[in-house]
Structure 1
Amino acid sequence: MVRLARRDLRDAVLDSARQRRGATTEDLGLPGPVGRFYVNERLTKTNQDLFRKTRAAAGIHGWRFVWTKRGRILVRNKPGDQTRRIGSEHDIQEIIGQYTV
């Protein structure tokens, strides 16, 4: 786990990691067995729960895209649709639809 001191550096690392999805330890020149690595944004406990519920509702209703960026939860139904921000359970119900978790 790595904690970065500056937001701009954190955002640059996350953006770079998103562009290189599927990278392996070999790509970084690290010794040992080759394996994929992942870079994830740390969310508050509240946002972790909200993200989990958003993903569950999106799966039920066929929404294809749920992701986080700079601590915000974002959704899009299909490519080309408007990106919507989820800030509460009420937003999930209003934007995506009813869910049960």
Structure 2
Amino acid sequence: MGAYHLRADNASGPTQVRPRPVVVRLARWELRNDMLRSARVRREVTTADLGMSNEPRRFYVNERLTKHNRYLFRKTREAAKERNWKFVWTRRGRTYARREQGSSAIQLSCEDDIDRLTIAK
């Protein structure tokens, strides 16, 4: 499991803000892709929808990225925010960006590709 997400600004010491992430490795790519596709359709699902009795909380399903792809995704998000691009996402381990709804998407595979965000229209 991943690390606890703590908030240290409490006077009585750090308190747990969110539960730890759950990482799942599936045996087949088809099942993984189906699960991610279904999760994108149901973005507003809460723990109450799963029949859990605790306080309803939203949860997220994301694909696990390699260290390089995670770094590229973060740098792309930062560059897109500076340049007012609206969409940055990952799919099947690849990073994509789109300036606005209806424009063509750009696939980024290395840090040098981020410069294309200023050139592309």
| 2:56 alignment counterpart | 34
Alignment of 1:71-86 (within 5 A): 71-86=93-108
Q: What 5-or-longer segments of structure 2 have no aligned partner?
A: 1-22
Number of equivalenced pairs: 97
| 1:23 alignment counterpart | 45
Distance in 2 separating the partners of 1:29 and 1:78: 38
Which one has a bigger Cα radius of gyration? 2
| 1:46 alignment counterpart | 68
Q: Conserved in 2, the CA contact under 8 Å of 1:25 and 1:37?
A: yes
Alignment of 1:49-64 (within 5 A): 49-64=71-86
Normalising by structure 1, we get a TM-score of 0.91
- State, as a whole percentage, how many aligned pairs show the same letter: 52
Distance in 2 separating the partners of 1:30 and 1:3: 23
CA apart distance, 1:97: 3.1
Normalising by structure 2, we get a TM-score of 0.77
The one-letter amino acid of 1:47's match is N
Which consecutive aligned stretches of 4+ in structure 1 deviate over 2 angstroms post-superposition? none
Residue by residue over 1:58-101, the C-alpha shift from the partner in whole angstroms, topping out at 9 and shown as x without a partner, is 000000000000101011000000011000111111x2139xxx
Residue by residue over 1:28-56, the C-alpha shift from the partner in whole angstroms, topping out at 9 and shown as x without a partner, is 11222211011011000000000000000
Q: Conserved in 2, the CA contact under 8 Å of 1:57 and 1:97?
A: no
Aligned mate of 1:2, from 24, 39, 47: 24
